[in-house]
Each structure stands twice: as structure tokens, then as C-alpha cells.
Structure 1
Amino acid sequence: MKSACVLGLSAVCALGVAGCSNSSTAPGSSNDGSVSGGVAATVNGEPISEDLVTNYIESLRAQYGLTDEGSWGQYLAASSLTPESLRENIINSYVELELMEEGAAAAGIVADDATVQGYVDSMKSNYDSDEKWQEALAGAGMTEDEYRQEIARQLVSQEFTATFESTEEPTDEEMLQYAQMYSSMFNGAKRSSHILFSADDEATAREVLERLQSGELDFAEAAQTYSQDGSASNGGDVGWDKLSNFVTEYQTALDGLGKGELSDLVVSQFGIHIIKCTDTFEPATTTADDGTVSANITSVSELPEEFQEVVKTAAKNQKSTENYQAWLTSERESADIVINPMPEDVPYNVDMSQYSATNGLATEDNGTVDETITEDETQGTVPEGGEGADDAQTEGGEGEGQDGEGQQTEGTE
């Protein structure tokens, strides 16, 4: 579970922060009104307020545009959920959060005030003035103290879950299993190098390209001589596209190259690129009786080294997750957990007899259908987030990207 500390305020709120709400009735806010009141559940005597659960569900509805009763009922039916079962899913997530915090406290894990303040100051620096910062906080339905508390909680969560990291090396069988899983994702991957020129130096870029095409220049040597990107010292290598996020212009040009081929001059927001595709990966495949083609990896060694590292990390992360889940299951079994009945007047309650699921989509009497979200998306979403949350902002800022090892390099996004 990675920290959400580098997320923008709206993203932190979307992850289910207790103080977040688009209304002034968020629990813990300065205008602490009551949405539904009462206690939804208790964990070892610690209460989980009904308002906390209600505000989270209402935030979920707003996030997916399910604010009217019809679309909400359709979503629940199509997801094989009821207001009661959804509420229980959310409560269970808060139960696990409470157990995690109790475990961290027992382990003596606390957030360092200076570190927490560093995250607050970093986020605050994105705004032109304190007034803009306070407006952003208000828009997320939280105070600066609440934001600071959330960062502290995320740091504690991150440090505590790290105690379950596995030091055991995955077996050959486990590595092969993950290699087979990942090989389809890596299929068609391309490794590339590039030479980056400033946007106003097209003449030099064109001259270098012509010399590369004639064989007069070696690409790696030319990158070391001319490139303004941090990858120059490595011959311009920026790794595999499946392990990186390149700007659209770069990726589009790379998609059109075969192994050993050069691009024409490619203009992006970072300047002018000359791109060379240095390697490709296409695993062996098998075709099923129904015509389905799938990757057929028989040995981890068939993957490039960088992909082998991804596979190894995934296998170890799985063991760490299993360790944490085993602890969590044990804690749940020994904890005193009481979930109270759902109040009838909560705003997300609807009469589910009006809705039914057909072919994965819910329909009303008039046949209207709506897109759905899987039940998994309502579980485990409070507030840790998932590993590698896609919405997290990467360090380095505009003009930087990742190379094949996950390092920041200029010229790629």
C-alpha cells in the first residue's frame, strides 16, 4: 500500500479520507453537521460513525455521476449490490483501517512531524498564495490540519505494511507463473534510444540525422555528443516503452519503427528527438482451438532482464500481500467487531425491487441501462489506495519521464 501523500487534494478526497466531502457536513469539519447520525460499527470499542460511511458512499455516487435514484439503483443491481451490502463493504474497509492503525500503534510506529510537514509544504507550494491553498482545501472539504492528519496516517500505514515485506526469494515455479502472466502485457514492447535537441536547433538535428542514416555516426556516440537529455551518458537509452510513459509524439514515432530503425525528426514539448528502436520483444505464442492466441513462456530467461526484475518484484509483492492479509485475517478473528443495522433514512437507500441485472447491466422498467462498476471497486478503497496508484504525481515535474529502470529522464514524459 503506497502512500497517497503526493496526490492532489481532490485525489486524496476521492480515496475516502474521513474529512473529505463536498458538503459542509463532513465528519471532523468545522461545520460538523449530521447526515445520518449514530454509530455504524465498533471495532474493539472504537466507533465508526454512520456519517463517515454515508459521506463516503455519497462521494462515490458523485464521483461516478450516480446522484439520481434511478442510476444509483441500476448501478447497485448491476454490481450485485444492495445499499446494505455496499454499506457493509465500506464498513469492513474502515474496520481493516482501524485494525491497521491499532497494529501500527502496538508496533510503536508514528509519523515524524517534520516529514509530514514536508509533504504539506510540498503540496502547498503548488499554489500561488495561501489564499489559493485554503480555497483548494475548502474545495476538498477539509482543513489543513485534517490534510496533515491524513498524510500522517498514510505514512504510518506505509511503514506498518512494509513490516510484512517478504525477504523470501520466489521459487522458479512462481517466477515462471508470473512470467507467463506478464508476457502478454510485455508482448510488442520496444526498447529505444534517442537524441534530444533544443526546439530551435533543427539544423543540427537534421545534420546529425543524415550522418546517422549514412552510417557516418554511431548512434550511442552521437547521443553522448549532442543529446541534451539525461540519457546521453547511457548512449541515449531510455528503456522499454512498456515500463515507461513517453510523450505521445515519441510513442507514436516509436510504434512505427522496427528493430534497428531510425525515426525522422520528432517534435515534442521537450524539443526535437531522433529515435532509434534498439530491441523488440515478442514472446512465443500458442493458438487455442477457438483461435485465441496467447503467449507461451517456458522459461523466465526468455524475458529481457528488465522484465525479469518486474516479474520478480511482482512475485515478492504477492508474498508480502499474503503476509499482511494473514495478519489482518487473524486480527479480524480476534477483534470485537459489531456492525449495527443500516438506518432507513440514509440518502443512498433505494428500493431495490425496482431494479434487476440483465447481462451485466441493470435495467429499469423502461429498459434504460447504465454503465457499472465492479464490486471490487467498492472494497479496500478506504483510504490507503492501491499499490502504485495510477493517479499519483511523479517527482521531477514537466519535462521529465521514466527510463526503463523507472528513473527520471528528460525528454520523455
Structure 2
Amino acid sequence: MKFSSFVKGKALKSVGAVSVALALGAGLAGCGGGGAAGDVAATVNGQDIMEQTVTDYVDNFRKGANLETDEAWGEWMVSNGYTPESVREEVINYYVDQDLYEQAAAEYNVTVEQADIDAQLEQTKAMFESEEAFQEALTASNMTEESYIEDVVKPTILQQKLSEAVAAADTENGSGDDAALAQAQQMADQWNGAKRVSHVLFQADDTKTDEELAAEAQAVLDQINAGTLSFEEAAQQYSADSSAQTGGDVGWDKLTTFVTEFQDAVDGLEVGQVSGLVKTDYGYHIVTVTDEFTVPEGGLTSLDQLPDDFKSYLEYMQQSSDSQSFSTWFTEYRENAEIVINPMPEGLPYAIDLTPYEEAAADAAATVDETEMGTVEGDDAAADQAAAEGDQAAAEGDAAAEGDAAGDQTAEGTQPAAEGDQAADGTDTAEGDQAAEGGDQAAADGTADQAAEGEQAQQ
């Protein structure tokens, strides 16, 4: 955030001041030759800017920004990339510009009248809810109404009037109505056939299905087509956007950009015709054309031949052009000025040693880096541990798999062995049984049979 950028954030930013940096200029001795006796900070075409003027400006800035202590001031400068030298340079350049505006105004016979001041002040106060609110904003900006007039209103009006004078003197491009007409003539072909459009928008939302929304729009369209509901009334009652307040008017198609589906519908309509339902990403529209502009035969010869909206557009474009032209002009005017900025004297109250604040900022940055590095290293260690655990699990899984395989093989070998054992047991039992029944031959036969069964089981 730069020094001037910070100033722009004050409570009176919205009052339309061109030189918003003036908002903290309350209590200053003024630019140019004003200020306490002493050192001269700079000269602009021989006109002095006093060192005290610059010092007072910085002092008021610090008060308004709650930077009155050296600690707060030092931290602010370091965090925003400033040094006392660069702060001084920026304030001097601000005053250089103010002096140049005044000098140029004198060359162009531009003056600020009391009526101009009163009108600007009234416009500014109208932006606030009450006089008390306006005064509170002044206080918040460390200003009084008198200093606001002197440091904001007058310079603003001066620059505006100077810009107008410079534009009027620009004979190459012309100015005023002549320049606007010339631009209109250049755009005549583009504007020819422009259509003014109104619509009724039925906006899609989560409360209705697409079919329900289309049915609602169709019911209104049917009333419009039947003549029981005017288009303007339909827009006022049903349109979901702000155009409802103007009977659905959304302006000229040549001065704005409509989505493709909407523009296609406009292209197919004549003045007074009403479209069917037009679906876009916004919902469903009913569209009508209320007017059409055609360039007169023989071309444009007067701005009075244009609709008011086209005149306003030209005025806006002219103001933008004048502003850019004035900026270019002032840059050249400044480059041609004799500007001398003197060396910075010692002992200025805002010129504090930034070393401790720079070191503190460096330490803080290093701490942040270490914290971030520690986080990264922690993440890496966690990842490594997870990988190691994954490898261990995989190894255990492999071992288990091998064990299962060995177990399977053992089980296969055990089964026939058990059958063999069972056969042997059967043999002994058969022999006993056969012997008990009393017959050696029978026992012998039983023994032979059981032995055969045992051999078969073992095979």
C-alpha cells in the first residue's frame, strides 16, 4: 500500500476530489511559498516549496493514520516499502503537481469562483445523511470544513476547469459539440438500425422447475398478446430485474451487449412486435422493440438528430478522451517545468532509523519460512513413515502368503497319510475281529484285504 494509496482510503474519498491526497492536508501552511521560514525543499519554476510544509503534511498523515509513535511509523514504512526519503519525495511531488496546476491555470486564465465552491460543497454534503455525518467525516479525516474547502474543493475545481480549458484549446481534435458530432458521424454506420429494447424476465431459481417457469411466462405472454395486459404493466408486475422500474426498458442494442439468444430475438423484431418466449441462462424473456434509430438521408449533421442516450454516450466518451488528453498534456507540461528538489536535511521528525524495524521484519519472515519448512519436513517424514509401514505390511503379507502356500502343501500331504493311518487302524481291528471270530484263513484273508486297502490309500 503506497503513501498516496493509503490517503485515498479516508472518509472523504467519495466526495469526488481529484487530488484525494489533499484529504490529509488539514493544518498545512499550503503549497508554494507558504510554510514556516527555513529550508526550501524544492522549487517549481522558481516557486518555493518549504521543508516545513512537507514535514507538516507527513505529521498530519501520521495523526490521521494512527502512526504517531516511532514504532508504529517505522513498522508501517517497512511493511509498505517506504523510507523517510521516499515519503519526502512523494509529498514533494504532490506539492509540485499542485503548484504546476496553479501555474497552468494562470496561463489559461482559469479561476475558481465562490459559486463553484458552493455548488461543489453542496454536492458533497448531499452524499451524507446529515450535516452531522459530514462533520464527523471531516473530523475522521483530521480536517475542518474550511481546510476541506481550501485543500480539496478548490484544487478539485481548479483541475476540472483547467482540464476543460486545455480541451477547448486543443484545436486539432476540436472540442464540445463539434468533437461529439465528428465522433457521431464516424459511428453512424455502426449505429444505423439500432433498436431500443424492453423485456420481461422470469428468472430461474430453485423454487420452480423449468416447465413451471415456462408455463408462468407463457401465461403472461398470452395476456400481452390478447391485449388484456400491456407490456409495461407486465414488466412492472413480473420482471425479476431492475428494468421492471422502467417498464422493462434495457436500452439500445448498439450501446450495450446482449447474450446471443436475446440479441437474435431482437434482430427478428420490428418496432411494436413482441417475441415468443426466449430462453437464456437467466431464465425466460418476453422481448419487444420500442424504437429504432435510422441515420437520416444525407448523414448526421446535428446532434439533435440523435436519441438522448446516444448523446449521453458521446458526452461520456468525450469526457474520457478529455481526461486522457489532459493527463498526457500535464505529463508533458511537468517534463518541461524547471523542478529542483533539494537534498533532505537532517533532523526531520519523521526521518527515523528503520534498522530495528527492518531486522524485526526479516526475523518475522524467517520465522514464517522456518514454520513452513517444518511443516513441509513434517509432511515428508509422515509420508516416509507411511511408506515404510506400507512396505512392512507388504512384506508381512508376502510371508503370510508363503505360509499359506506351505500349509496348503502340508495339508495335501497329510490327508493321504491320515487315510493310510486310518487304513492301518482298520487293518488291526479287522485282524482282531477276524481272529475273534475264530478262523485263521478268515483272519488271513481279512489281513490281506486290509493291507490291500492300506496300500491303495497310501497311493
TM-score for both structures, normalised by structure 1: 0.47
Question: Whose radius of gyration is greater, 1 or 2?
Answer: 2
More strand by share: 1
More helix by share: 2
